[in-house]
Amino acid sequence: MTSFSDQLRTLLADARTAVASAKDSAALRTVEVTFLGRKGRFATLARSVAAASAADRPAMGKALNEAKRELSTLLDDARTRLDGGAVAPAIDPTVPGIRPRRGSLHPVTQMLERVWDVFSGMGYALVDGPDVELDQYNFQALNMPPTHPARDMQDTFYLDPRQELLLRTQTTAVTLGRELGKRTPPFQILSTGACYRRDEDLTHTPMFHQFDGAVVGAGVTFANLKGTLQTAMRRILETDVAVRFRISYFPFVEPGAEFDLALPVQPGQRQRWLEMGGCGMIHPAVLRRAGLDPDRVSGFAFGFGVERPFMIKHGVPDLRLFFENDLRFLTQF
């Protein structure tokens, strides 16, 4: 018993000295392991408690635990002392922090997701279609037989000598070409994706993206088209823009219109309008070809570019930037 309490006293004295002489938190950690670790000196001493008689054990255990608690307290105090002195001078609060690495979504993706969200909010179902399209869906179903002059507006990449297979020139191929005949009115659908035209200059890239919508049901009107596009475009651009509709011609709509957006005007400048896309009431021949009766249902359709609204919204001057994939551009948004 005596030897145990002597041992314990010596042990505690050693521990106090060790704690007092520790200069940093690493040294404290060593002290902690040496004394309180799984194979530390307290653990070794604890074995003699196990070997003692049942009568002595409670007192020995109590003394041991008190000593351990004291050492723990000493260690905590020492840590506080060391830390408290070190925090302030070690950190320069004016140095910028370590930021997480930031990735980016392509501007086209960002705009498409905005478009999806706006039209989903209006109850549109998203539809998907192939990039390699049949002439039938891209043109013929849309009132554009092979010799139609309106095809010249959409110079086409063909994939076979018979010109039956092509890269779609418009996502209308999905909404009016493919889906119209498959669905039962009423419905409202949105198709988005890459389109291709054989054209490359300042304002044209051979690939670009579109979103195309169609709404079909009893009593769908041109006024509905106006309301829909006005509302949608304001939500997409997140600003209250002036828009206008003017006469245009697309073989698959009648009446047809071009949808323009007013660019913000600087004082002294003339109002400038920018073409955003085409729209109109679905042509009765297109409806009939899809098995729908123009006297029972009507519908409207619209097709817009994706890059252009992004350019307006974010002030991007050049379409070609979208596909040069310069990370210095892509990571700006």
Partner 1 sequence: MRLLYDWLREYVPVRMRPEQLAAELTLRSIEVESVRNAAGTIDAAARVALVKRIRPHPNADRLRLATVDTGGKPVEVVCGAANLAEGQKVAYLPAGAHYLDQDGQTRTLRPTEIRGVLSQGMIASERELGLGDGHEGILVLSDDAVIGRSLRQYLGSAVVFELAVLANRGDCMGHLGVAREVAAITGVPLRMPPATLPHRAPGELPLRVSVETPDLCPRWSALVLRNVRIQPSPVWLQRRLNAVGIRPINNVVDLTNYLMADRGQPMHAFDYDRIQGQTMRICRLTRTTAFTTLDGVGRTLPPGTGVIRDAKQVIDLAGIMGGQVSAVTDKTRNVILQAAAFDSVSVRVTSRKIGHRTDAVGVYEKGVDVAGTMDALARAWTLLQDIAPGATVDRIVDLHPRLPRLPVIAYRPARADALLGTAIPLATQRAILRRLGCAVRGTTARWQVTPPSWRHDLLSEEDCIEDVCRINGYDVLPATLPTGTLGNAEPVPELELERRVKHLLAGYGWSETIQYPFTSATELQAVGTDPAECVRIANPLSANQLYLRRNLLPGMLRTVRDNLRYQNDVRIFTLAKVFRAARGTVTEERVLEFALSGEDDRRSWLNLRGVVDQLLDDLGIAGVTYVPAAPKPYAALRVDVYAGTQRLGSLHLVHPQTRRAWKIKRSVVIGSLLHNALLHHARPIARYAPMPTLPAVTRDVACWVPTDAQYEVLAHGVAATVRGVLPQVDTTVTFLDEYVGNGRRSLAFRLTFVPLRRTLQAHDVDQVMERVSRTLKEQFHATLRS
Q: Does 74 bind partner 1 (CB under 8 A)?
A: no
User: Rounded to an integer, what distance in angstroms lies between the CA atom of residue 281 and that of residue 211?
Assistant: 17
HSE of 122, CA atoms in CB hemisphere, 13 A: 25
Among positions 13, 33, 126, 242, the unique one binding partner 1 when judged by CB under 8 A: 126
SS3 148: coil
Q: Does 293 bind partner 1 (CB under 8 A)?
A: no
- What are the DSSP calls for 248-306, one per residue? ---TTEEEEEEEEEEPPPPTTPPP-EEEEEEEEEEPHHHHHHTT--TTT-EEEEEEEES
Among positions 200, 238, 293, 318, the unique one binding partner 1 when judged by CB under 8 A: 200
Q: Does 331 bind partner 1 (CB under 8 A)?
A: yes
**Buried b vs exposed e over 209-234: b needs ≥16 C-beta within 10 Å?**
bbbbbbbbeeebebebbbebbbebbe
Cβ-based neighbour number of residue 293 at 10 Å = 10
Least distance in angstroms from the C-beta of 280 to partner 1: 8
Q: Which is nearer to partner 1, 30 or 109 (CB)?
A: 109
Q: Does 332 bind partner 1 (CB under 8 A)?
A: no
Q: Does 23 bind partner 1 (CB under 8 A)?
A: no
- For residues 196 and 294, the answer to whether their CB atoms sit within 8 Å is no
Strand 125-127 with 187-196, pairing: parallel
Is residue 191 within a helix (H) or strand (E), and if so which, with residue range? strand 187-196
Q: Which is nearer to partner 1, 34 or 224 (CB)?
A: 224
φ and ψ of 124, to 5 deg: -80, 145
Instruction: Report residue 201 as tokens.
Output: 């200059």
Give the total of residues touching partner 1 (CB under 8 A): 85
Among positions 10, 17, 44, 221, the unique one binding partner 1 when judged by CB under 8 A: 221
User: Rounded to an integer, what distance in angstroms lies between the CA atom of residue 274 and that of residue 242?
Assistant: 11
Interface of this chain with partner 1, residues 260 to 279, rule: CB under 8 A: none
Instruction: Report residue 86 as tokens.
Output: 């070190």
User: Which stretch in 16-24, 54-62, 169-177, 247-255 sits in contact with partner 1 by CB under 8 A?
Assistant: 247-255
User: Rounded to an integer, what distance in angstroms lies between the CA atom of residue 169 and that of residue 194?
Assistant: 9
Dihedral sign, Cα of residue 278, residue 284, residue 289, residue 294: positive
User: Which stretch in 25-33, 44-52, 57-65, 200-208 sits in contact with partner 1 by CB under 8 A?
Assistant: 200-208
Q: Does 240 bind partner 1 (CB under 8 A)?
A: no
Instruction: Report residue 180 as tokens.
Output: 């119209």
Among positions 4, 34, 181, 254, the unique one binding partner 1 when judged by CB under 8 A: 254
Least distance in angstroms from the C-beta of 149 to partner 1: 5
Q: Which is nearer to partner 1, 23 or 39 (CB)?
A: 39
Interface of this chain with partner 1, residues 152 to 181, rule: CB under 8 A: 152-153, 157-161, 163, 165, 167
Among positions 170, 172, 175, 188, the unique one binding partner 1 when judged by CB under 8 A: 188
Among positions 84, 89, 100, 267, the unique one binding partner 1 when judged by CB under 8 A: 100
Is residue 233 within a helix (H) or strand (E), and if so which, with residue range? helix 222-237
Q: Does 33 bind partner 1 (CB under 8 A)?
A: no
Among positions 46, 59, 82, 150, the unique one binding partner 1 when judged by CB under 8 A: 150
Q: Does 333 bind partner 1 (CB under 8 A)?
A: no
Least distance in angstroms from the C-beta of 54 to partner 1: 23
Q: Which is nearer to partner 1, 19 or 191 (CB)?
A: 191
Least distance in angstroms from the C-beta of 42 to partner 1: 16
